[in-house]
Amino acid sequence: MRKNRIGGVRVVESGERKTIGNISLRDVQFLLTVPEIYGDYISITAKNLLTAVKKYLEKHDKASSVLSGTITCQRDKTIKELIKTLDSQEIHRMYDVDDDGNLERVITFRDII
């Protein structure tokens, strides 16, 4: 992520196009700060990282957009609606999906600006 100067990546089920989650730089911080996750960081999969971060946040009653799942939108949303969603969910990216939930494109605050 650092090499490509991106703040997050989507996670898909193996062999699928449907997004099951998002890993942001904030999520990666857990690898460095939470011992129960950090201890196995070399072999942890993206899906398992998402699960571990969610469990940790729920256990410690911490609010996070990670707990609300992947935020998606349809292409007919207005820029105003996109900004409101990004702001209310305190996230920086959203996934534009087709009617079957397959990724069309990623929309970020940076794109909008």
Reduced to 3 states (helix: H, G, I; strand: E, B; else coil), residue 104 is: strand
Task: Supply the DSSP string of 65-111, one letter for each residue.
Answer: GGGG---EE-TT--HHHHHHHHHHHT-SEEEEE-TTSBEEEEEEHHH
- The C-alpha atoms of residue 103 and residue 17 are separated, in whole angstroms, by 7
DSSP 8-state secondary structure symbol assigned to residue 23: E
Smallest Cα–Cα separation from 27: which of 46, 5, 4, 2?
46
Helix, strand or coil for residue 108?
A: strand
Residue 41, pLDDT above cutoff 80: no
What mean pLDDT comes out for the span 20-43?
Answer: 72
pLDDT reading at 67 higher than 70: no
Q: Regarding predicted confidence, which is higher, 62 or 110?
A: 110
Residue 69 pLDDT grade (very low, low, confident, very high; cuts 50, 70, 90): low
Enumerate domains of the chain plus CATH numbers. Answer: 8-112 (3.10.580.10)
pLDDT, tens digit, 9 for 90 and up, residues 81-104: 999 988 888 788 888 888 887 888
User: What's the predicted TM-score (pTM) here?
Assistant: 0.64
Q: How far apart are CA 48 and CA 5, in angstroms?
A: 23
